[in-house]
Structure 1
C-alpha cells in the first residue's frame, strides 16, 4: 500500500511540475507578443550581438523566465557571407519583443518559426533541419546536484547527463555560461535535458529502469 501510494504521489508531482512548465512556456510566449521594449538601438551589430541585446532587455523585465527564443544556423555555401555576416543598424522604440525580433530577422535573412513553448529564428538556407540552440537557467542547487560549474568542459557535461539516458552526436554542443546551460541539438535533446533539470531541481531522483535498452544514437544533421 505504501509503495502504491508513493507511486501515485510521484506521478501526481510529475504532472504538476509538467503543467507548471507548460504554463510558464505559454506565459513567456505571450510576454514576447505583449511586452514592450522602450528603446532598442543597434549600430552595426552582428545577429548574435543584436539578439543578445534583446535578450538582456528580456532578462530585465522577466528575470525568472528563460528567453523563449532559439536559433537555427547553417554553414552557408557563400563563404564570404559566412566570414563577413551582415551587420544590423536600426533604432526603434515602444515595440513588442516579437516585433523587434521580426525586424532583426528581416535584416539578417532569418524567419520566425513557432514550436511548442519556443520561437525559433531560422536562417534561410537551402537546407532545413530540426536542430537549434537554446539556453536554460540552472540554479546553484541544480549545478551542485549535477556536480557542474561554469568551468565544466563539454566532455564533463556530457558524462554527467549520460546516466540519465542523454547521448549526444559528435556535432552537438553543451556549455554552461552565465548560470544557464546552452544546448545545440535536436528537440529531443532539449526536452531530455530540460526535463531532467526540472525534476532534479524539484528534488526528484531519476533511476534507470532495469534491462531497459539504450536509446538510439542521434543522427547527424547531414543524414
Structure 2
C-alpha cells in the first residue's frame, strides 16, 4: 500500500483543473459534497447539469448530454491517469469515496477525504479495472437514461479524454511523455475503448502519436462550435 497518496494527488492536480482532487479533511464541513455513486443513481443532478449545459450552449438535448458527459468523464479519469503515468500509483477513487459538488460554471470539484492507493506494475490494466466498471460504465448508463444518445459516441469521448490527458501530461512533464503515451496506448486498446479511434503520426504538442476518434461529440452543432482536433469529421480536411 501507498501511504502518501495525498501528495501524489496534490502533485498531479497542478497539471490542470481537470486533474485536481481535493483531499483536505476539513472540506467535510463544507456543504454539498456527495459520493459520485449518487450521480449515477440519482437522476436529478445529472438532469440539471445537462439542462444547464443546454441553456449555456443554446443546444439540443443530445449535444448537451454529450458535452456534459465529456466534461465529467475527463474529470473522473484524468487524476488516476496522471497518478499512474507520473508516479506509478493507482489511487483508490471508487464511486463511494470520491465525492463531487455541483458548481454553476466550470468543472465540478472533486474531493476524497482519506485517499489510499497502490503501486501498480501494469498501469493500463489497473486503470481499466478501476475506471470502466466503477465510473465510466455507470456514468454512460446514467446519461443514456436521460437522453437517447449513442453509447459508441460516449465511449469515443472517453477515448478522446484519454488522449488529451496523455498530451497534457507530456507537455507539462516531458520526462514522463514516453510512459504516458505507452499507458494511454494500452488503455485505448482495452475493453470498450478498443476500436474507438486510431493513432496517427504525432502533430502539434503530441508525443509518440496523435489520436483520431471514429465518432463525433456533436460540438460542431453548437453555434460557432467548429470541429475538435481529433474529430472523425476532420478526415477529409
Fold in common (TM above 0.5): no
- Structure with bigger strand share is 1
User: Whose Rg is larger?
Assistant: 1
After TM superposition, the score normalised by the length of structure 1 is: 0.26
- Structure with bigger helix share is 2
After TM superposition, the score normalised by the length of structure 2 is: 0.25
